[in-house]
Amino acid sequence: MTTNSFIPYRVSEFSDWTFPVSGDNGKTVRWNHLLQKYEHIAFEASGQAVAEVAAHVALVNPHTQYLLSSAYTAGDVLSKVLTVDGPGSGLNADFLDGLSSVDFESSGSSSAAILAHVALGNPHNQYTLASSISAFGATLVDDADQTAARGTLGLVIGTNVQAQNTNLAALAGLTGAADKAPYFTGSGALAMTDFTAFGRSLAASASADAGRTTLGLGTMATQASTAYLLASGYTAADVLSKLLSVDGSGSGLDADLLDGLSSAAFETVGVAAGLITAHVGLPNPHTQYTVVSNTRAIILASSPTVRTVALATDTLEMFAWDGLAWYVAPLELIVQPNAVDMGLLPPMVQNDRAGFNATSITDKTINNSAIGVNTNTTEGSIRVSSGALQIYLLGVWNDVVTGFRFREDSVSGQYELEHRPIGFTSWIEVMSGNSDALGLNGLPLTQGYVTSIGPYPAHAQIVGREITS
């Protein structure tokens, strides 16, 4: 035996063992205690086994006699069981459709119970034996189908009885109670609502009039909404507005106050007039004053001891004594004609303080007054007639031109009359229609009331025998 390195490869059994002979290189022996004999062990050369193991490992499933663990699934197990289960398979399950054996009758027990039931003379004592069926019952039991049976029983659907209906089913599902009524909440859906005795009496009304009577309504309920005033519109301001349209003389309105004062704060008609008449009729109603009449010279020479009013009989002047001096009243008593005139007259010739006389007004300014009609044809009279301001001159009413401004221009030494019409900014000669504003050529910018676009006038044209601008 050489000293080469060997790796075990396989075991060979020998029924008989002999010592190695010349040429048995790569073999040895060992004692097999199970077989109680020696065995030869052969060795392969180094590297051969490694190559075979590597090729073995490279195979996807080198051990075809084994099943890969990844293929061992519940579905695979069930698939294989289904190929061998059923009668004769010997498969003893614990449940059948989730039920154990105690949930089923044992074989034969049901048959025995049925046979015993059939053996009874009348096992169904709640039913009548066929021998006891009446003639009508016989006509019912021989019907071919349920339609015929309903006809025999007089329960023909649509003729004798109502067919199945969702609305009727919903009605049947309600629980009735006093003063309640069903109503639809949707298709095939009903509910209960209150239906009181008053509600039933209202529903029983034969007409709208009867319904209003039940509700206790009068004829006002039949009026249009426009016939009523909203409560929100019944305000003090609205009442006052309507009252102001009908109050006044003849309205018959008897107020309690007038401007916050009762009738006791006023004199009744005739009382004041009677008092005034009585007052005027007294020789000297103002006893605190002394009234005298005399000539002007005597009055001014006297010195009364009390306040005195005096009338000058020669000049018809009124004087008042304040205890220290006489004061003349600014008026003069003059006999007046029946016709209405200017009114207030000057008090005296010596001192004209009022500025008025019977025919004129002197040194006065008239404010907040209007000029109206005037039939006086005195020279210089003025009036407004037909929308025009007029002045009476030379026996004729003449319109006064308005809306124009006039002036007399003496710059050129010719004293020309000029005016400035509405819309113009320059003064225009009344006769020529030329402006006093000149252009670069020294000519008027406006000639004949026509303003040129430049400083030169429009060219004249010869038309026939005339020259026109």
pLDDT digits (tens, 9 = 90+) for 250-288: 878 888 888 888 888 888 888 888 888 887 777 666 666
How high is the pLDDT of residue 298? 92
Distance between CA 60 and CA 353 in Å, rounded?
151
Q: Which two tokens stand for residue 129?
A: 């034996």
Give the highest mean pLDDT range of 76-80, 107-111, 414-418.
76-80
Q: What pTM was estimated for this model as a whole?
A: 0.23
- At 10, the pLDDT band (50, 70, 90 cuts) reads very low
pLDDT digits (tens, 9 = 90+) for 100-135: 877 877 776 777 777 777 777 666 766 666 566 788
Instruction: Work out the angle at residue 29's Cα, subtended by the Cα atoms of residues 23 and 31, and round it to the nearest 5 degrees.
Output: 160
18 vs 24, 33, 37, 286, CA distance in Å? 11, 18, 11, 194
Structural domain containing residue 11:
6-58
**Would you say residue 312 lies in a domain?**
yes
- What does the block give as tokens for 408? 């007399």
- The answer to the question of residue 409 being in a domain is yes
Q: Identify the top-confidence range among 294-308, 422-436, 445-459.
A: 294-308
Residue indicated by tokens 């209150």: 194
- HSE on the CB side for 45, CA within 13 Å? 1
User: What does each C-alpha distance from 148 to 164, 199, 251, 324, 385 come to in angstroms?
Assistant: 18, 47, 93, 146, 116
| Beta bridge mates, 184 | 190
- Examine residue 412 and state whether it is found in any structural domain, yes or no: yes
Q: Does some domain include residue 221? A: no
pLDDT at 346: 46
Q: Confidence class of residue 468 from pLDDT cuts 50, 70 and 90? A: low
Q: Average pLDDT, stretch 163-192?
A: 89
Q: Give the pLDDT band of residue 202 (cuts 50, 70, 90).
A: confident
Backbone angles phi, psi at 346, to 5 degrees: -65, 145
Residue at a domain's end among 266, 299, 328: 328
Number of domains the chain is built from: 4
Query: Are 43 and 8 in contact, with CB atoms under 8 Å apart?
Result: yes
Judge whether 465 lies within some domain: yes
Higher pLDDT, 234 or 468: 234
